[in-house]
């Protein structure tokens, strides 16, 4: 029921593909724009993965849900975007500072 502007492009309540099958989705978790951007940078710096902001949101979402997983669970995260469209944003420390995402 919450509608507000957000930085992460391509995911959120404004895009809902017709092939979404809610009967197989166990739940959702909300990730802030700040966390998505910070984790997008971390994936590049620590894992060498140059991905889009939705990847940062995806990995942060998994980490937020980690207490729900059992040791035998298998978690798969698909990253569908590359970071080239975000060089001026998530990979630009000046932009990140202006947004208050980093100090």
User: pTM of the predicted model, to two decimals?
Assistant: 0.83
Looking at residue 81, its pLDDT comes to: 84
Looking at residue 16, its pLDDT comes to: 76
Q: SS3 string of the chain?
A: CCCCCCCCCCCCCCCCCCCCCHHHCCCCCCCCHHHHHHHHHHHHHHHCCCECHHHHHHHHHHHHCHHHCCCCCCCCCCCCCEHHHHCCCCCCHHHHHHCCCCC
Tens-place pLDDT, residues 28-77: 898 999 999 999 999 999 999 999 999 999 999 999 999 999 999 999 99
Tell me yes or no: is domain 22-98 CATH 3.40.50.1100: yes
Residue 12: pLDDT over 90: no
Residue 3: pLDDT over 90: no
């Amino acid at each position: 029921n919450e509608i507000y502007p957000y930085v992460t492009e391509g995911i959120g309540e404004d895009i809902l593909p017709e092939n979404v099958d809610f009967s197989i989705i166990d739940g959702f978790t909300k990730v802030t724009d700040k966390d998505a951007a910070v984790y997008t940078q971390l994936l590049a710096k620590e894992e060498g993965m140059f991905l889009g902001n939705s990847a940062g949101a995806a990995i942060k979402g998994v980490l937020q849900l980690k207490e729900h997983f059992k040791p035998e669970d298998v978690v798969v995260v698909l990253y569908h975007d590359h970071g080239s469209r975000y060089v001026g944003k998530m990979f630009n420390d000046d932009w990140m500072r202006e947004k208050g995402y980093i100090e």
